[in-house]
Amino acid sequence: MSDSAVKPLGEALLGARRIVVKVGSSSVSGENAAQIPKLVDSLARLRAEGAQVILVSSGAIATGVPFLSLEERPDDLATQQAAAAVGQNILVNRYQRALSTHDLIAGQVLLTANDIENPTHRGNARRSLERLLSLGILPIINENDTVATHEIRFGDNDMLAALVARLVQADHLVLLSDVDALYTAPPAVAGAKRIPFVSFGDVLEGIEIGASQSGWGTGGAATKVQAARLAAEAAVTVLLTETKLFAPVLEGADHGTHFEAGPGPL
């Protein structure tokens, strides 16, 4: 966790071959739906620099809930699935409106845990994503919450994004949420300090990693660290930061936590 190891990732991201960006529910739903055009501006900038970009976006359930006249996330599976069915359509349309200003087209890809675990399905998913990218399409991936169950699912989109990054052999994975970085303790705790860099294999001994702070998201800091390690094992560099700080990072600002990639792809 040495500060001396930290280098701004903006230049590396802008020079990347392939990037997977994951954004959490709380960053793109409710009042924060206004962040979608700004996020898309950053994705478009990466594309303009020559990178192939895949977006893994949470937010289907959170987006759909208000349209079902509900005030909070439903507890029962059937209503969650209904909210996802409504919200996914609205969410992708919001992305497409923003992408259209950059003359970009989105391709919706919904995956289940079985699609990654089953070799045949996994191969089909890889082939589909590779073809979309070769055609200049920006894939937008989410878990297929309309059919996923509590027992058979990724658990959160951080893990899905890490698995997608491994699947397509991405150079970088960017995990965006409402937390700006990994800290030595939950950010609300007095004395908590940002961890700018995590070397490959660092077990983060003595670090208190908190749970989700959002009422909508399912993944907290612990799942993000787990996802980062999963991606790093496949030689993928990982950046964990806040959604609104993504554009400054591309400008060279030092934000977030950078996880070093392993020595080579699995």
Annotated binding residues for ATP: 22, 177-178
Query: Which residues define the annotated binding site?
Result: 22, 58, 145, 157, 177-178
DSSP per-residue codes, 2-15: -GGG---SHHHHHT
DSSP per-residue codes, 109-176: EEE-HHHHHSHHHHHHHHHHHHHHHHTT-EEEEEE-TTT--SSSS-SSHHHHHHHHHHHTT-SEEEEE
State the Cα–Cα distance between residues 6 and 227, nearest whole angstrom. Answer: 20
Amino acid at 171: D
Query: Which residues define the annotated binding site for substrate?
Result: 58, 145, 157
* Listed residue (258, 69, 10, 53) closest to 168, CA to CA: 53
Q: Specify the residue for token string 């029962």.
A: 76
Would you state the structure tokens that stand for residue 255, as one six-digit string? Answer: 């934000």
Angle, nearest 10°, between helix axes 119-134 and 157-167? Answer: 80
Would you state the structure tokens that stand for residue 233, as one six-digit string? Answer: 């094992």
Query: In sequence order, which residues have a C-beta less than 8 Å from that of residue 75 and are 6 or more positions away?
Result: none
